[in-house]
Amino acid sequence: MAKRKTEKSETPARSGGWRSVLLQPKIIVALLIGCSIPMIRNMSQSSEKDLIDDPQYQVERSTITLKSRPDYVPEEFLSRTWENSELPEQFSILEPGLAERIGKSFENSAWVRGVEKVKLSHPRDIEVALDFRRPVALVRSAEGYYPIDKDGVLLPPTDFSAAQLPQYPVIENVQTLPQGPAGTHWGDLAVWGAARLIDLLIPDGDREKYWTKYELARVRVYGKADLRHAEAEDMQDISYRLITLSGSEVIWGVAPDVTDPTEPDAETKLERLSMYHRDFGGLHSEQGPIEIDLRRWKDIARRPLDLPQSEHITR
Q: 235-272, pLDDT tens digit by residue?
A: 899 999 999 999 999 999 999 989 999 999 999 999 99
* pLDDT for the residue numbered 298: 87
* pLDDT for the residue numbered 230: 82
195 pLDDT more than 60: yes
The kind and range of the H/E element at 273 are helix 266-280
pLDDT bin (cut points 50, 70, 90) of residue 53 is: confident
* pLDDT for the residue numbered 34: 39
Q: Cβ neighbours of residue 142 under 8 Å, at least 6 residues apart?
A: none
Decide if 245 contacts 210 (C-beta within 8 A).
Answer: no
* Model pTM above 0.85: no
pLDDT bin (cut points 50, 70, 90) of residue 184 is: very high
Coil, strand, or helix at residue 222? Answer: strand
Please compute the mean of the pLDDT values over residues 205-221 and round it to a whole number: 97
pLDDT bin (cut points 50, 70, 90) of residue 66 is: very high
Please compute the mean of the pLDDT values over residues 180-207 and round it to a whole number: 96
Q: 9-37, pLDDT tens digit by residue?
A: 333 334 445 455 444 545 444 444 334 44
Percent of the chain clearing pLDDT 90 (strictly above):
64
Decide if 67 contacts 125 (C-beta within 8 A).
Answer: no
Closest CA to 127 of 116, 135, 118, 136: 118
Burial of 279 per CB tally in 10 Å (0-12, 13-18, 19+): exposed
312 pLDDT more than 60: no
Count, in order, helices (H) and strands (E) of the chain.
7, 15
pLDDT bin (cut points 50, 70, 90) of residue 39 is: very low
Instruction: Report the distance separating Cα 189 and Cα 186, nearest Å.
Output: 8
Per-domain boundaries in the chain: 26-132, 134-314
Closest CA to 267 of 201, 217, 209: 201
Q: 117-165, pLDDT tens digit by residue?
A: 999 987 788 999 999 999 999 999 988 999 999 999 999 999 999 898 8
Coil, strand, or helix at residue 39? Answer: helix
Residue type, 131: D
2 pLDDT more than 80: no
Please compute the mean of the pLDDT values over residues 44-52 and round it to a whole number: 62
